Chain A
Amino acid sequence: MAAPSYGKRPWTFYVLAALFTLFVIFLYGPMISVLVLSFQGPSAALNFPLRDPSLMWFDELFNPRRVGDVPGAFSRSLPLALITMLLTVLIAVTAGFAFRRRFRGATLVFYMAIASLIIPGLVLSIGILVTARFLGLSASWYTTALGAHLSWTLPFGLLIMFAVLGRLSPSYEEAAYDLGARRWQTIKEVVLPIVFPGIIAVALFGFTLSYDEFPRSWLTVGTLNTLPLEIWTMTTNVTSPALYALGTVTTVVSFIVIALALGSILIIQRRRSGSS
């Protein structure tokens, strides 16, 4: 007689679990390799094994002698990402509110905004450069590159706001109106606090999409590179583990940003469910 089974896992569970493990290794394995090799010793080997671990390549990165201008690139990429983030939040949130009330041509405007996602970034980059030349403007990270980045982050921001505001019941706004709140008070005291986690998500997207954007930056930054462009240049002419050190630093910055965003969303949700 067979022993009774109490929910034994089927064989498919183990197959899928193995598949998922492979996927995770595929995702993070390369990152981990870069991380490990960034601590390479003075042997300057670009491959495993790791010999005489040291921090010398990080030092090289911040006090450039042989590598490119990493601190300079970072000092452009960070403000560019922050400005892009700020503008994305501002425009996507207000545009999201505009779309809450159906207006004539709303669908057309929406599809036009989304369509810019499918235009190849490099083509857009060329287009922006040519147009800027035609208008007599010089390309720089804070003008043409900023515009190019917004063409990438705004549709994403708008899509997120659609999802966020789509779940916001109109009865909250009506209740606020019922209790004597003016339009601005309703937005400030009710709507914005309720959708705040969604706004953080928009900000996160705005920042990360801009921070590691390559194709749209390619021709639009002018003479001074942003970080992704600097990394790309280095891969072609730098042959030291400083490259890995740079990969590690940029990844750490990205992770800090994501952790901050998710952390604040979590804190807000924790506070609302009252388990503080």
Chain B
Amino acid sequence: MNLKITVNGTTYERDLDPRLALVDFLRDDLGLAGTHIGCEQGVCGACTVLVDGTSVLSCLMLAIQAEGSEVSTVESLASGSELHPLQEAFWEKQGLQCGFCTPGMLMRAMEILDHNPRPTADEVREAIAGNLCRCTGYQFIIESILDAADRMMDDPVEGALRQGLKVGTI
């Protein structure tokens, strides 16, 4: 089955086995190994990516279902040698230990901050409930996302864009 898909800004065309999961396509066909597999049953959230700006579990989506879509993975965050402010925040606050849940957590965090540029700690804690972490107990992840919110609002261009976005709970 044919697939035309844009991933991190690059468009690809492939002929694929329909049962190939989106996460396997990203990892094995495109070599974007940043998105991880933890359970393949939709519980752990490690495989979270953005499809047309919306967080989904890429283990439960067939690659061919992303026909015509724009997919963003963790590899899209950094610009060359510069980390995204969200990544800088996680680094500064030690929001990771083993790093395995981190890509899914980062993509979900991007969405959280997109919808709610100034969340409270409680809001963040609830908003990441679909992403399991076995290492951190979540606390430094929450601190990282709150720190990222500050960084992103302080950025003159980012901040202005975010002010204009709809603010609300997830």
Check if A and B associate: no
B-to-A contact residues, CB < 8 Å: none
